A and B are shown apart, each in its own frame.
Chain A
Amino acid sequence: MNRMQQSIENAQAIATSDALAVEHTLAGERDAFRVLVERHSQNVFRLAYRMTGNQQDAEEIVQEAFLRAYQKLGQFEARANFGTWVYRIAANYAIDRMRQKQKEDARREPPRAGSADGVEDDPMNRVADDAPTPERLTQSLELRKQMEQALAALSHAERTAFVMRHWEGCGIEEIAAVLKSNSGAAKNTVFRAVQKLRLALQPIVGTRTQAQAMGTES
């Protein structure tokens, strides 16, 4: 095998194998890490956005997750899956960040009366109420707002567990690792999340579904 073939195969192997890219990064080849960043950024973004509901926060989480992964790469086990690992780093960082943000928000603005469930105080609520939109758009915006609020009302652990299981299809063991709990507790957290979402959304979703079935929705 000549040098060129070997080089091409080597580059191709890095491009297709996470494990090899990790190995080359650990060997001091910083650019090998680029392959990992470019390959997994979209997935990590999706997770971060679902967890925070905010694009800017999600983008910052993605960057921080890869920076942390690079710094901790020496601790990464060769047999593990890099995608899952960086995912876990991102989820943990997202939880820390949401907690921190919640504390900061609480310091800045004392809770108003009647805002225990956080529904009435959402600025989106006020904007949408005043907006003269067609009925259907209003309904759709209203449902979206309700869903975002229901998700925001979950605890950090519940939202993480729900996002990881329902949208990202992560295994219970993986969720348990992020939540630093056991698989039974992780399952229970998924259950609690769905139960809370159902409680908050079923009245509005049920009405819409019924209206759609009867053909009365505009």
Chain B
Amino acid sequence: MNHMTEEQLIAYREGIAEQRAAISDHLAACEECRAELERIEAVLAALDTLPMPDPGADYGRRVWQQIAPRLPEKRGRWWQMWLAPRRLAAAGAVVALIIAAFVAGRMSRRDHGVDNSASREQVRERVLIVAVGEHLGHSERMLVELSNAGPSDPAQKQVNISAEQRRAEDLLEENRMYRQTALQEGDAGLASVLDDLERVLLDVAHSPSEVTPKQLEAIRRKIEARGILFKVRVVGKELQQRQEASQPAPAQNDSKKKERNKV
């Protein structure tokens, strides 16, 4: 009887043998080749015991946090991007923002009779401050309502959070736009808070519309764990102060931005 070669047995063990059936038949009848295969298997089984470090359940998220700042913005196929249904509403918000900035810019030009880029920049930032401030206010209210939600009747097994979910869905798109704008403007602190907020909004938007009290508690814990309400309040208040201090000097603006980058 011709025995199997080492190459044939390794290929068989690793599932890459061409004549698998023929090798199987031979192994069934040949004790010597079976013993040889067992020796190969013993080595491979020992190798399988080598430990593999567990990078943790949130590893993917950590990888994203590490690479996201290094990813260049893709220009993309613009028509494809804006034709997506959920983009249309956010696009409307951005158009409104641009119009507001344009109108405010015209008014400011008429007032001072001078067209300088610094004042246009200030106007643009003020418009953004107002818009983001409102967005944070809306988000805060939604999160507070969600945190306070509960079954009206203790016997009730499900809590309906569809209203909060709808609002989270709407806020999510706006949030993405503001976060991207904050990144473009170099406001890393605001972008980071908006990034945290986005994760919470995503969680809420993707939850079932009816949840059990236990599931609701899990959502609440997630909100608390991220400290998002606190961050939103701090940044919201700061934006409000900046808005009230109306005509801010550019240097003041920068220092505020730097301060928030530490949040």
Contact = CB atoms under 8 A, between A and B. Distances in A.
14 contacts: A6-B85, A30-B68, A37-B60, A37-B63, A38-B60, A39-B60, A41-B63, A49-B52, A71-B72, A143-B46, A166-B47, A190-B10, A194-B13, A197-B43
Interface stretch (B26-34, B73-81, B132-140): B73-81
A156 interface: no
Nearest to B199: A34
B99 interface: no
Interface of A: 3-4, 6-8, 10-12, 15, 23-31, 33-34, 37-42, 45-46, 49-50, 55, 59, 62-63, 66-67, 70-71, 73, 143-144, 147-148, 151, 165-166, 172, 187, 190-191, 194-195, 197-198, 201-202, 205-206, 208-209
Nearest to B63: A41
A27 B81 contact: yes
Given A28-B74, A28-B81, A205-B43, A190 B16 contact: yes
B46 A37 contact: no
A208 B45 CA distance: 12
A46 B81 CA distance: 34
Does more than half of chain A's interface fall in helix, strand or loop, or is it mixed?
Answer: helix
Given A3-B86, A187-B16, A28 B44 contact: no
B205 interface: yes
A196 to B, nearest CB: 11
A166 B44 contact: yes
A27, A30, A42, A143: residue with the most chain B Cβ atoms closer than 10 Å: A27
B76 A147 contact: no
A126 to B, nearest CB: 21
B113 interface: no
Nearest to A210: B42
B60 A26 contact: no
Interface in B191-221: 198, 202, 205-206
Contact of B50 (A15, A73, A148, A198): A148
B80 A62 contact: no
A177 to B, nearest CB: 15
A76 B60 CA distance: 21
B61 A38 contact: yes
Contacts of B71: 30, 33, 67, 70
Given A41-B60, A144-B50, 13 more contacts: A3-B89, A26-B80, A40-B60, A41-B55, A42-B60, A50-B52, A66-B63, A194-B40, A197-B44, A197-B47, A205-B42, A206-B42, A209-B42
B16 A30 contact: no
Does more than half of chain B's interface fall in helix, strand or loop, or is it mixed?
Answer: helix
Nearest to A146: B46
B89 A165 contact: no
A55 B53 contact: yes
A59 B73 contact: no
Contact of B166 (A4, A41, A202): A4
B169 A34 contact: no
B85 A7 contact: yes
Contacts of A205: 42-43, 46
A7, A31, A40, A66: residue with the most chain B Cβ atoms closer than 10 Å: A7
Contacts of A24: 84
A213 B72 CA distance: 59
A147 B10 contact: no
Interface in B69-123: 70-78, 80-81, 84-86, 89
A8 B206 contact: yes
Contacts of A55: 53, 55
Contacts of A148: 50
B214 to A, nearest CB: 22
A167 B45 CA distance: 11
A27 B64 contact: no
Nearest to A193: B10
B46, B50, B198: residue with the most chain A Cβ atoms closer than 10 Å: B46
Given A166-B44, A201-B47, A67 B67 contact: yes
B176 A194 contact: no
A120 B53 CA distance: 26
A198 B45 CA distance: 11
B158 to A, nearest CB: 18
A10 B89 CA distance: 15
